[in-house]
Structure 1
Amino acid sequence: MNSTYRQVVQGRLHTGLAEHSDGILATESGHISYAGPREHFDPEGWPSAEVLDAGEVLVPGFVDAHCHGAFGADFSSSAEEPVRRALARLHERGTTTVLASLVTARRENMLRAASLFGALADEGTVAGIHLEGPFLSSARCGAQDPQWLSEPDIGLTAELIEASGGSVRVMTFAPELPGADALIQFLTSHGVVPSVGHTDADAHTTETSLAYARKLMLTSENEPKTPTVTHLFNGMPAIHHRSPGPAAACLRSAVRGEAIVELIADTLHVDPYMVAAVFELVGADNVALVTDSMAAAGLEDGTYQLGPAEVDVNGAAATLRSSGVLAGGTGFMQDLVRGCVAAGVPFGDAVRSATVVPARVCGLSHRVGRLAPGREADAVVLDRDLQVAGVLRRGAWIA
């Protein structure tokens, strides 16, 4: 279907902020003209529009703010064509907005990948770039290659931003490293969201760093205004009552609305009980569901790449061949929403954390993440089992 068609989709509708049991989504030329209850929609202005059924429920297109690849393509190392094919298939799975995550690697490789995804961002295929490193803790590097980790380097950061054409939107860093505050200053001045992660910091250092980032973001002319936490609980010490560590500090910051925590709600990275607990503690507005998916997502068990590392996939678990460490996800955003609901998270909260919140993280709330007039016509039809049954991207049905 061509995106210039005028369409009216009717049925149960969740805009990302509110649900309408008898709703209408009207789109024209790739954008939303109306999204809300049927009773407030004037059908007389749409006599030539094609009328479609929303199925079980229609929600905004999913926004994944932490994705390393899928369908055999590794965003840090694969060539352009496999990357394009993978992104097209991710769009078909309902993730209509993707932030491409790059792992720590050799400088030249990171610059190459930044250049590739900068070009893809310019054309709208991806929403931008998330740099997961290289300024991370060697003690909590997880699947990151420790030989390429370093202390914060403003020169390298500037090179990566320049190579991307200004498309870097988020950067993960360990706040205990020397030069972390200077890095936060540089990132916020360039509109890049500082994200605490892969850290061995204590609670005080973590909380102070997030507060500093928040202060600079609030006084900056750039958007967005809230720092994030890279995959909460993963890549950091566990909470202990005599050594609370970074996770406890991140939760307290999120409760105050001073941080947004990423959550890989795939039952492997975070137990379903803890997923429900985080939503109850900090609220859906402060949780961004992320897949942290890698090249193996959507494929059978086997050995795949995550940057320079080899990863073995068995079932849904992806682990480093060299150490057995858990190394990224293999699921999709629909799986996370379904997992949250199964854990007891209200459906509307799960949807919000898969759409509205990550769009805010990416600085794209004015374009995606909600079904609202003026936004891009990105929507996902979910069936009774919360599986993707149809995908609308920029006004065109692609799956």
Structure 2
Amino acid sequence: MRASSECTNTFSDRHIHGLAGVDFATSSVSAIRAVLSLLASRRTTGVTASIPTVDRATLPNTLDRLRCLQSDGLIDGVHLEGPFLAPEYAGAHPVGAIINPQEERGRLFLETVFEYQQYSQLITMMTLAPEVPGFEHAVEQLVRHGIEPALGHTAADYHQMRHGIALIHELTGQPVTITHLYNAMRGFHHRDPGPVLAVAEAVASGEVIVELIADGYHVDLPLVRWWLDRWPEAIRLVSDASAATLPRGVEPVIAGRPRLGHTELHYPQATGPQLTGSTTLASGGKDLLTIHENLVAAGFDHQRVCAAMQR
């Protein structure tokens, strides 16, 4: 979608778990419909429902509820953020539910996912870490079933991340999505550059699309500006919002303690949503409309910001 100079177009959020008390993984269909209407009123009309790491027993009910919303044209698809992640970079994901595709639980999880793909292309993307056992075979299966493998929540070293990007790019012929770069992944060090250097190299060669959470809590805004100035066409701005994300002036659609799948959160005071009883950031603190307004107020280029929210 082409952005106008005034950015009157709507946004597409490719990584969002919910908003205003509603969790895409666990809330009722009626509640999700209500929050999708709220998002549309705030210019986010394209929604990929992100589901955090959940166990296999929970997955069918979640997918059944979301499939009817996709059939009605209310969501573009489902992004499974897990369960094949690095436990040490789980972030808000429950470590006990993280598995790898090589173990029996992992194989059964994939079987369930692929059963749903036979009836509709509901699941559009899955985030996994490139160093998990069975990564290569899982990626081949995902691509064969029409699911885009994305990379994130990873303890990968430079070579593992470079290999993961190259494999997916070769299989799909498309840029590989990097799930919220910097967050929930090994950081950069001059003697251990880790996944960040591999991503930077891949951006320069057109092999990746980089997600950034530009809510002011997850990534420093000068760093967001640095990426947008250098590789604007490779940047995708996402909210990573959750049920605990509450835009100013908006009341919760559902009362009570907000959730992120299996995990309880609490509404933030001066930062993004956090795990209950913890200071760990659990999701984005703003929706795309608020992020857009804040970035433009900070002097970011209108067209670049809008294009990055429509990618």
Aligned to 1:16: 2
Say if 1:102 and 1:110, in contact at 8 Å, map to a contact too: no
What secondary structure, in the 3-state scheme, does the structure 2 residue paired with 1:278 have? helix
The answer to whether 1:156 aligns with 2:146 is: no
Task: Report which stretch shifted further, 170-179 or 330-339.
Answer: 330-339
Give the C-alpha shift of residue 300 in structure 1.
Answer: 6.5
The answer to whether 1:74 aligns with 2:56 is: no
1:106-133 deviation per Cα after TM superposition (whole angstroms, max 9, x unaligned): 2121221122112211110100000000
Aligned to 2:149: 194
Say if 2:7 and 2:303, in contact at 8 Å, map to a contact too: no
Give the C-alpha shift of residue 157 in structure 1.
Answer: 2.1
Give the C-alpha shift of residue 181 in structure 1.
Answer: 0.8
Give the C-alpha shift of residue 161 in structure 1.
Answer: 4.0
Q: Aligned to 1:214, which of 134, 147, 169? A: 169
Aligned to 1:274: 223
TM normalised by structure 2 equals 0.90
The answer to whether 1:285 aligns with 2:271 is: no
Distance in 1 between residues matched to 2:114 and 2:223, nearest whole Å: 35
Q: Aligned to 2:245, which of 276, 286, 297? A: 297
Give the C-alpha shift of residue 235 in structure 1.
Answer: 0.6
What residue ranges of structure 2 are gaps of 5+ in the alignment?
Answer: none
1:367-395 deviation per Cα after TM superposition (whole angstroms, max 9, x unaligned): xxxxxxxxxxxxxxxxxxxxxxxxxxxxx
Say if 1:104 and 1:149, in contact at 8 Å, map to a contact too: yes
- Alignment root-mean-square deviation, CA: 1.9
Aligned AA for 2:286?
Answer: G
TM normalised by structure 1 equals 0.71
Distance in 1 between residues matched to 2:114 and 2:307, nearest whole Å: 29
The answer to whether 1:135 aligns with 2:88 is: no
Aligned to 2:135: 180
Q: Percent identity?
A: 33
Give the C-alpha shift of residue 190 in structure 1.
Answer: 1.9
Bigger fraction of residues in strand:
1
Aligned AA for 2:233?
Answer: D
Aligned to 1:238: 187
Distance in 1 between residues matched to 2:238 and 2:3, nearest whole Å: 19
Say if 1:118 and 1:163, in contact at 8 Å, map to a contact too: no
Give the C-alpha shift of residue 82 in structure 1.
Answer: 1.0
Say if 2:7 and 2:302, in contact at 8 Å, map to a contact too: no
Aligned AA for 1:163?
Answer: Y
Say if 1:276 and 1:343, in contact at 8 Å, map to a contact too: no
Q: Aligned to 1:314, which of 260, 268, 277? A: 268
Matched residue count: 298
Mapping 1:1-399, distance limit 5 Å: 16-17=2-3, 19=5, 57-152=6-101, 153-163=106-116, 165-218=120-173, 225-281=174-230, 283-298=231-246, 303-315=257-269, 316-355=271-310, 357=311
1:198-224 deviation per Cα after TM superposition (whole angstroms, max 9, x unaligned): 000001100110111000002xxxxxx
